[in-house]
A and B are shown apart, each in its own frame.
Chain A
Amino acid sequence: MRIIVCIKQVPDPQASSSGTKVDPEAMRVIVPQGTPPVMSPYDENALEAAIRIKDAHGARVTVISAGRNLAKPVLRKSLASGADELVLLEDAAFEKLDSYATAHLLVAAIREIGEYDLILCGRQAADTDAGQVGSGIAEILKIPCITAASKVELSDGKVLVERVVSDGFEVIEAPMPALVTASSEIGDLRYPKLKDLQAAQKMPITVRGAQALGIDAAGLKRVNLVRLAEPPRRKTECRIIGGETPEEAGANLALKVKEAKLL
């Protein structure tokens, strides 16, 4: 059993939830100073799903991450959490790729690895929010794809997935090799032990550049960014309703809601 997990490095979305700015001229998003790089949260869910399968059935888990200036200690956390191998696709040309180019780049690396039964990706990255790379990889490799998984299991040589839909969930079965994109309901990535984190910093990793992969990733782009703007913000003046006690404040809030005819 061989599992490949694709993980993107992003600026920590929790640390940059507020205070993020836009430079429209340079068409750049500026996250607050000190925002650390992290593994994109849904990709962490994908890794957790892979490690659970490894725990239950035994598997070799390979993590692939593509980008520029990758923070190796951050990505090595995947090894500490239970992945067996880390492959970094790192090149100045791998910055700001669109979904089409990224999917093709990852496929080039997956083909080099050659063997795989299951590929796991996050349902969408925390920076671009594009939600396409997993589906793209599956289509290029011509393997079935199941998106937004809340549970991933193996049964009789097939992958059995529960996926989140707007009015409930679906149970889907697919032959392998298959690709599954993970949603947060899978559960958080386990917290690695300190000794595993330390050991992971010393494990060998593979780094591949554009030339080694023989890919002109930037030349593969299918979309152009033509504008980047601040979003329209809801303009409000919040009136804080007080009281001697929290209970009184609650009652006062009810009076205010009635007075302002919000109901």
Chain B
Amino acid sequence: MAEYKGVMTYCEIAEGSLPSISREVAGFGRKLADDLGEELCAVLVGSDVGNLAQDAIGLGADTVYVVDDPLLKEYQTDAYLSVMEKVVRKMMPRILILGQTSVGRDLAPMLAFRLDTTATLDCVGLAIDPGTKLLLQTKPVFGGNAQATFTSDFCPQIVTVRDKLMPPPEPDASKQGEVITLDAGLDPAAIRASLLKRVTENEGGVRLEDASIIVSGGRGIGSAEGFDQLQELAALLKGAVGASRPACDNRWLAPNRQVGITGKIVNPDLYIAIALSGSIQHLSGCAQSKSIIAINKDPEAPIFNYADFGVVGDWKKVLPAFRDKLKELLPG
């Protein structure tokens, strides 16, 4: 174990820049590296991504490893897995942190098993145990009904962190660091599963994860047409529409509208929860909203234990009146 050293972050890239989650991961990485008194390095994997190395340094990395190859233009499990396996075997970080994103969820466990160890996904707390120097990996279990803290004696200790846990660090443009380019050396035989196409489902408007107001509906909405009414309210408030899992499973909305532990983590200023019961798995994804309003016909629905304001009633009657009154009250 002695030969493993330092903290490594996997810097996910989205649309040619470092998304918020990568900056948050950098913040966690810097803190842990400082606590260990060791270096922080960042890994950038993609095509034409070298220009982002300085950004990663500004966010705290001492060293940035860039793996640049046209074959890495889009995330593909086998290619990225093979690259990350090489980078980790070569650099031997004590800790590797990824974001709990579609990529992190896919890549982290496979990489861990390839390196003959295991990972902890969806961490909400990371700290160094002052005695053992091991990484304390805290994650919700039982849908969020409990929080477990794990350690592992095997290196690298691999984790993904949930997004929106803390604000990303302010970039420091004057920070110095080293940029090292590594060869992807991809063996075509290593790529078994192939990506045939990627389809973006964005109904326009504000992205759920960026919205400051979210109007979310559940099973009780009952149909795609029902969600049109939520869409209308969201448009009025310049917010986004979200949903519980059953609403997405029924295809009343696209799956990427799902809020919760297996959907998206959101923290808007206002979360309006309509005809959803407030299961722990759903609340884990939205309980950090500044304010929550609930409309539900069942006075015993758990969502009322988390809401600031609530109306007990049929949403089909409550919502239109709520919307019309808001229209009256809102400027413009």
Tell me if A246 counts as interface (CB < 8 A to partner B): yes
Q: Which of B97-122 contact A (CB under 8 A)?
A: 101-102, 105-106, 109-110, 112-114, 117-122
B222 contacts partner chain A, Cβ-Cβ < 8 Å: no
With both beta carbons as reference points, the residue of chain B lying nearest to A128 in the complex is identified as B141
Q: Does A178 contact B (CB under 8 A)?
A: yes
Tell whether, in the assembled complex, residue B321 and residue A248 are in contact, meaning their CB atoms are under 8 Å apart.
yes
Per-position contact with B for A121-145: 1 when CB-CB < 8 Å, else 0?
0011011111110011011100111
Q: Is the CB of B199 within 8 A of A171?
A: yes
A26 sits at the interface (CB 8 A):
no
- Cα(A251)–Cα(B327), bound, Å: 11
Given A138-B110, A168-B202, A256-B309, residue A238 in contact with residue B294 (CB < 8 A): yes
Contacts of A127 in B (CB 8 A): 141-142
Q: Is the CB of B287 within 8 A of A228?
A: no
State whether the Cβ of B330 lies closer than 8 Å to any Cβ in chain A: yes
Could you give, for residues 221-236 of chain A, a 1 whenever the CB lies within 8 Å of some chain B CB and a 0 otherwise?
Answer: 0111111111101101
B90 interface contact, C-beta 8 A: no
Instruction: Give, as a whole number of angstroms, the nearest-CB distance from B317 to chain A.
Output: 4
Bound form: Cα–Cα A152–B332 in Å? 48
Which residues of chain A in 140-183 are interfacial with respect to chain B, using CB atoms and an 8 Å cutoff? Answer: 140, 143-148, 150, 160, 164-175, 178, 183
Q: Quick check: is B168 within 8 A (CB to CB) of the other chain?
A: no
List chain B residues, Cβ under 8 A from A99. Answer: 109, 118
Q: Across the interface, do A168 and B198 meet the contact criterion of CB distance under 8 Å?
A: yes
Report yes or no: A255 in contact with B329, Cβ–Cβ below 8 A.
yes
Number of interface residues of B (CB under 8 A): 98
Specify the main secondary structure of chain B where it touches its partner: mixed
Contact present for A135 and B199 (CB under 8 Å): no
When distances are taken between beta carbons in the complex, the residues of chain B under 8 Å from A250 are: 295, 311, 313, 317-323, 325
> B192, A222: Cβ atoms under 8 Å?
no
A238-B304, A257-B293, A262-B270 known; A29 and B321 CB under 8 Å?
no
Is A239 part of the contact surface with B, judged by Cβ < 8 Å? yes
Instruction: Please provide the chain B residues from 281 to 314 with a CB less than 8 Å away from any CB of chain A in the complex.
Output: 281, 283, 287-288, 291-295, 299, 302, 304-314
> Which residues in A have their C-beta under 8 angstroms from that of B306?
234, 236, 238
Q: Does A254 contact B (CB under 8 A)?
A: yes
A172 / chain B contacts, CB cutoff of 8 Å: 193-196
CA distance A214 to B248 in the complex (A): 43
Jot down 24 A-B pairs with beta carbons below 8 A, ordered by A: A17-B145, A17-B279, A20-B145, A100-B117, A103-B113, A126-B143, A165-B102, A167-B202, A167-B256, A168-B256, A171-B195, A171-B199, A172-B194, A178-B192, A227-B149, A234-B287, A236-B307, A238-B307, A240-B309, A245-B317, A246-B311, A250-B295, A250-B311, A251-B322
